[in-house]
Amino acid sequence: MAPRGPRPLLFLTLVLLAACLAQLSEGATYRQFLNRHVDFPKSGGNNRIYCNRIMQRRGLTRPVCKPTNTFIHAPAGQVQAICRGAGRCHGRNFCDSNSSFRLTTCRVAPNSRPGRCVYRARVQHRRIRVACNQRLPVHFERIL
């Protein structure tokens, strides 16, 4: 007669599968952060056309023109370091960088529309605040 009751092996398999899926989704969030906010080395073009090109290339102009987006011109490892000790962490999961980064903030111009998004660039050298998950940046919060 076969044993009845809980199936420990099946339960363990389901728990491990759930953990793997959670890690994959967190990795996707980090990859989304990189796509939306890291551009190193800085893509070519002068500041007048930079935002128009990169916002379109990164898929930030559909289905609507994203109103504002900041790009960090530093290697991914330097941005990761904010979440790994090179930043001061506070609150739930926010960390402020200890050092400044080269940044370009793209703001949509009036009368822009999907398919014809026009942006203005603002270049700065400032500290930043990011949200971290498992020691990786997953959200750009603001410029400090």
Tell me which amino acid residue 127 is.
R
Query: Domain 10-143 falls in which CATH fold?
Result: P-30 Protein (3.10.130)
Phi-psi region of 92 (alpha: psi -120 to 50; beta: other; left: phi over 0): alpha
Report the side by side order of strands in the sheet with 119-126.
68-72, 101-108, 119-126
Query: Phi, psi (5° rounding) for residue 87?
Result: -155, 160
Residue 37 is a catalytic residue: yes
Which residues make beta-bridge pairs with 103?
A: 72, 124
pTM score over 0.75: yes
Residue 139 is a catalytic residue: yes
Q: Could you give the CA distance from residue 14 to residue 113 in angstroms, rounded to a whole number? A: 46
Domain boundaries, the chain: 10-143
Q: Which of 37, 73, 90, 125 is catalytic?
A: 37
- Per-residue confidence of the chain (144 residues) as pLDDT tens digits? 555 655 655 444 443 444 433 443 445 699 999 999 999 999 887 887 999 999 999 999 999 999 999 999 999 999 999 999 999 999 889 999 999 999 999 999 998 988 899 999 999 999 999 999 999 999 999 999
